[in-house]
Amino acid sequence: MDVVVENLTIGYRSPLISNINFTLSTPALVQVIGPNGSGKTTLFKTIIGLIKPLSGRVIIDDVDVTGLPSLAGRYVGYVPQLTVNPLSPFPISLWEFLKYGLELAGTNTRNVDDVVSSMLEFVGIPKELWHKDLSKLSGGQRQKAFIARALLRGGPIIFLDEPLSNLDLTSRSQIIRFLLNLSKERLVVVSMHDPTIFLNTSRHVILLGHGKYFIGSPQEVMKVDVLKDIYGDSIVFVERCHHILDLH
């Protein structure tokens, strides 16, 4: 299955980036990088139909899903950036969070409880936490909950916006391993501030910034001249390696 972006111009009242063209095929891991404000989240939301593009279109599995989140949602799950603060002043358990998400999606299944329990086992959340208040879970556990909810529809594609932000080292390692395994069967697209984490496992890197975009293999995009065009003096050299000082 392919995600095809044709002559896409993203932005709100004015363009952030114009004439974006690429094709992503499943299964694979693809990472999107660039400074804050470069358009990573806007690109994600445009592809999944939450924001209408200023021009161009998005085609998934030969279906035009441009600006149609209900249609794009048949193929794509979306995990937004994880926030530090509790999600809601109203308590909701992890189990309820997934069960209601499944029902809101309009998924027709007779065995909702079986589907939810299978997904919680799939993402590796212990049974003793299944009925715990979602806001009481650790950052890593809550991130797994969001991933589980995004996967419940069974679509072959998942977009994750900065999935490692606000996580401790142990939780980061767990999410990294999970996403790497998931990318063997699905198209996993992640926005990142540190591209080195998935550098050796990404099929493509998409670099955004200053109204431009670059796409290619890690070897093609992670070149000094390309990176400096976007990050400027934030590119530093340590012996034979170059690093991006993106501290957000």
**Span 150-197, pLDDT tens digits:** 998 778 999 999 999 878 888 889 999 999 999 999 999 999 988 889
First to last CA, the chain: 33
**pTM of the predicted structure, to 2 decimals:** 0.88
| Beta strand 63-64 pairing with 55-60 | antiparallel
- The dihedral of CA 191, 139, 83, 193: what is its sign? negative
CA–CA gap between residue 3 and residue 62 (Å, rounded): 9
Q: Does a cis peptide bond (omega within 30 degrees of 0) precede residue 27?
A: yes
Which helix H or strand E contains 123, and what residues bound it?
helix 112-123
What architecture is domain 2-244? Answer: 3-Layer(aba) Sandwich (3.40)
**Span 50-91, pLDDT tens digits:** 999 999 999 999 999 999 999 999 999 999 987 655 555 568
DSSP 153: T
Amino acid at 116: V
